[in-house]
Amino acid sequence: MDFGAIGGIPLGGRVIKNGVMLAPMAGATDHAMRVICRGHGMEYSVSEMVSAKAMSHDDKKTRRLYEIRDDDGMMGVQIFGSDPETMARAARTLAEGTPNKPAAIDINMGCPVTKIVKNGYGSALMRSPKLAADIVRACARALEGTGIPVTVKIRAGWDGNKNAVEVAKRVEDAGASMITVHGRTREQMYSPPVNLEIIADVKDAVSAPVVGNGDVRSWRDAVEMLDKTGVDGIAIGRGALGNPWIFEEINAHMNGVDWTPPTPAERIAEAIKHAELLVADKGGRIGLFESRKHLAWYIHGMRGAPEARDRIMRAETLDEMRNILLSMEAALL
């Protein structure tokens, strides 16, 4: 596959040059993770999903989710909801009420979590193509004159009826500038393997750039995604958890450059940096709590990881976490 066929995606006057981006993941793709991934070649990211309804209450916790800082780089903000008017107000607020403007407003039509879909949000919109289009149309109108485009994240469908092509056509007609497709239905959640055929079908059906999402954990997975779908870009989600080097890896192969995987010492050093960023951003209690899962992802598969993970889960300070990891590193020498 010619990696030169990927990237160059226009987005509101900007361009995603290499086409490899960080997919939004609730509870994971916060500021700390975006900074870490940017340091390894990630060019574009989308925020954790933000409730359009909660935005109307000007909640402090919600504001933190969509805050764009100078070191976030090129970043979109993802919103979720089911009422076109509420979604449009949220889109306009993000366009006008934030110091650093988002590169795009992304509409979540892919989240499969029960507490989201039971309210008609996320991937529940795959059951209502007309409503999905109405939401995109309302947001696009609300953003007229701002230069900020609307993008959409969808799934293959809700259940066995894989209607991603229909939904993609409708949202494109309504004003979507880019469509990301996770190649599983809501019913399938995160298994079995992603269906590349449905992503290819969407790519063939629309003119807007299409981004493939699901099961990309290495450059070989990226090649397979490109070979079988012809997408314009790749959004990496779980493949980046504990492995921000995946962006370096794919970028290196795109450019025909040799790439060496990180050593255990480098993985541990990056894990410590990630924990430090989380604590600096969110304070000791929340930052330490959220660090636990990230540190477990970084050390997964390394010798001594199960024991270190158990100790990390009980650690009460950043210094304690740091010492656990450094002791693990020393034992590997």
Among all residues, which ones are annotated catalytic?
111
Cα–Cα distance measured from residue 117 to residue 110, given in angstroms and rounded to the nearest whole number: 9
Burial class (CB in 10 A: 0-12, 13-18, 19+), 142: buried
Query: Contacts by 255-258 with C-beta closer than 8 Å and gap 24+?
Result: 255/3
**Lookup: tokens for 309:** 């993970």
DSSP 202-252: HHHH-SS-EEEES---SHHHHHHHHHHH--SEEEESGGGTT-THHHHHHHH
Rounded to 5 degrees, φ, ψ at 16 are: -85, 100
Cα–Cα distance measured from residue 47 to residue 72, given in angstroms and rounded to the nearest whole number: 10
Rounded to 5 degrees, φ, ψ at 236 are: -105, 125
The overall longest dimension of the chain from CA atoms, in Å, is 59
Q: Per DSSP, what are the bridge partners of residue 153? A: 108, 180
Cα–Cα distance measured from residue 301 to residue 297, given in angstroms and rounded to the nearest whole number: 9
Cα–Cα distance measured from residue 115 to residue 152, given in angstroms and rounded to the nearest whole number: 20
